[in-house]
Amino acid sequence: GGGGGFKLNSLKFDTVPPNSDDKLTVPKGFQQAVIVAWGDPIVPGAPAFNLDAQTPKAQEGQFGYNCDYVAVMPLDKDWSHERALLVVNNEYTNENNMFDGWTTGAAATVDQLKIAQAAHGLSVVEIERVGRTGRWAQRKKGSRRYNRRITATTKIQVTGPAAGHALLKTAADPSGRWVKGTIGNCSGGTTPYGTTLHGEENFNGYFEASGPVNSAYEAAFKRYGLPLAVNAGRSWARVDERWDVAKNPNEANRFGWIVELDPYDADAAPRKRTMLGRMKHEGATTTLSEDGHLVAYTGDDERFDYLYKFVSRDKYRRGHSRRDREHNLSLLDRGTLYVARFLDEQPGDTEYDGIGEWIPLTSDKESYVDGFTVAEVLINTRLAADTVGPTKMDRPEDVERNPVNGSVYIACTNNTARTPAQVDEANPRPANKDGHIIELDEAGGDAASDLFRWRIFLVCGDPTDPSTYFGGYDKTKVSPISCPDNVAFDKSGNLWISTDGNTLGSNDGFFAVPTKGAERGHVKQFLTVPAEAETCGPWITDDQRTAIVAVQHPGEGGTVAEPTSHWPFGGVPRPSVACVWKD
């Protein structure tokens, strides 16, 4: 068993002050180490990282670029914290830091474009605890049979009500049921039956147009930020014409989904679950309703976009038989998709709190949106949601239910475009550069409820800024925090927050804050990440000994010749997953 002394959920650590150091800074007395870095060989037989000898085939067996979401899935039967699967999103690539002399996709070699495609997607890595410590490392011996890469070209099955719809069919896939690859994998979540969920977020930026796009697609493409006229994009069409929406507009409809992966079955194709709608999914996290339905929350990370919830038609089965597992693996294919409307309690109410409702958009059988079929709601979810009056949020990123207090926490990362006239109680600050976090309580504590109460938990920023709010806590005693993005919880229900885009003149970081009691709102910074990186993935291991974070895009503004970060090994920066512990 884990044993060990220090538990992170005690929150007994010395706050890390804001800084601009090019390193992973952890509290006094703590240690940190990289678990896996971009380019590390993970699939048996893959070559060691060599910046000057990259090939598409090598990258297909190596850890992907820009690690974002991280899940730690137990491998030992009794979860004694000795072996686990690290499941990681590789959201996108910074070619400027991968290839010496990089300028544009148009000027790149086709091999470079293929390497970038192979550096996208997901990585599954067997990890093990080092001795009796809180440190984790890649498992280098043994079968490593779960180690796996999913890339921008891996075969992925499309399931749920929109699978096979005309809008998902292409010349290369007349079935509309098999897509090559997943991209833009930002945040994610896990299910109670041991699968992982992965959002496809900024998929629009991967598409280009060699000419005008069929005008039938205009409204949807505008709403999703897809190109309508000549646009060079990443020039991935030089590898495969499917990325050219002038020729293949439906290919763009095959991205923007939640992907479900069974990390315990290395042969199983991942699945795009159309029932959860298509948008710039930050990620999806799950919980169970009072009577055992699976509920998934998902944010659409765009300024003025919406918060969504899915409730399964069928109930989760706790058994572990093959039939139970197959049943659970179908839960995300049938149910109801909702969008959130936040309401003021009463006219003139000045508290930043209120009630709200989940507006049903469609079930797997029946659309509730006039003019849209079930499949059309799911494929063009933003257009369907626009017609029912949901609340326009300040970029809803991670959304996750606190397993201890049952409240749902919504990280609204920022929205500098909100004008004073557009302010509402749930998005209370104009030109919101530092973001805020909303706390949402489902009616009756039931995640399947269609009504909720909500209140603002944090209004982020420099605590000397009068517009900030820290859950009512003394603002002279908190850490400055800006642009909350990903969230996680420890066993005591403390909220852990990683940031992306800190506007306060220091590096991004990772913070902990109690959600209840006298310390509610006492934000403490636990670590800072190297120059120009964002903090992602955060995970507190079950034994509360180790924090695992993904350090994404360190030194992203530099080049191979002139790096702006040398983290973690000197030379060019390498996005990496790291662990932090105290023994």
CB of 301: closest distance to ligand FEO in angstroms? 4
- Cβ proximity to ligand FEO: between 244 and 485 the closer is 485
Contact of residue 351 among ligand FEO, Ca ion, none (CB under 5-8 Å per partner type): Ca ion
Q: Which of residues 293-352 bind ligand FEO (CB under 6 A)?
A: 301
Tokens of 359: 């507006």
CB of 283: closest distance to ligand FEO in angstroms? 8
- 556 is a site residue for ligand FEO (CB under 6 A): no
CB of 264: closest distance to Ca ion in angstroms? 26
CB of 468: closest distance to ligand FEO in angstroms? 22
Beta-carbon count within 10 A of 145 CB = 9
- 284 is a site residue for ligand FEO (CB under 6 A): no
CB of 298: closest distance to ligand FEO in angstroms? 12
- Could you give the CA distance from residue 161 to residue 312 in angstroms, rounded to a whole number? 13
- Could you give the CA distance from residue 352 to residue 426 in angstroms, rounded to a whole number? 7
Contact of residue 354 among ligand FEO, Ca ion, none (CB under 5-8 Å per partner type): Ca ion
- Cβ proximity to ligand FEO: between 364 and 397 the closer is 397
Q: Which of residues 375-434 bind ligand FEO (CB under 6 A)?
A: 397
Identify the residue among 201, 251, 434, 556 touching ligand FEO (CB under 6 A): 201
Q: Which residue bears the tokens 């795009």?
A: 272
Q: Please provide the DSSP assignment of 153-179 as one string.
A: TSEEEEESTTTT-GGG--SS-TTS-EE
Contact of residue 519 among ligand FEO, Ca ion, none (CB under 5-8 Å per partner type): none
Letters for 76-105 (x = contact with ligand FEO by CB under 6 A, - = none) are ---------------x--------------
Please report, for residues 57, 90, 115, 345, 373, the alpha-carbon distance to residue 95 in angstroms, rounded to integers and kept in the order given: 17, 14, 10, 49, 40
Among residues 174, 152, 330, the alpha carbon closest in space to that of 255 is found at 152
Which residues of this protein are in contact with Ca ion, per CB under 5 A?
186, 345, 349, 351, 353-354, 485, 500
Characterize the bridge pairing of strands 335-344 and 285-288.
unpaired
Q: 149 forms bridges with which residues in the sheet?
A: 123
Name the residue number minimizing CB distance to ligand FEO: 186
CB of 483: closest distance to Ca ion in angstroms? 7
- Cβ proximity to Ca ion: between 442 and 485 the closer is 485
**E strands present in 420-506:** 436-442, 451-459, 469-470, 484-489, 495-499
Identify the residue among 186, 294, 332, 437 touching ligand FEO (CB under 6 A): 186
Give the residues lining the site for ligand FEO (CB under 6 A): 91, 186, 201, 282, 301, 397, 485
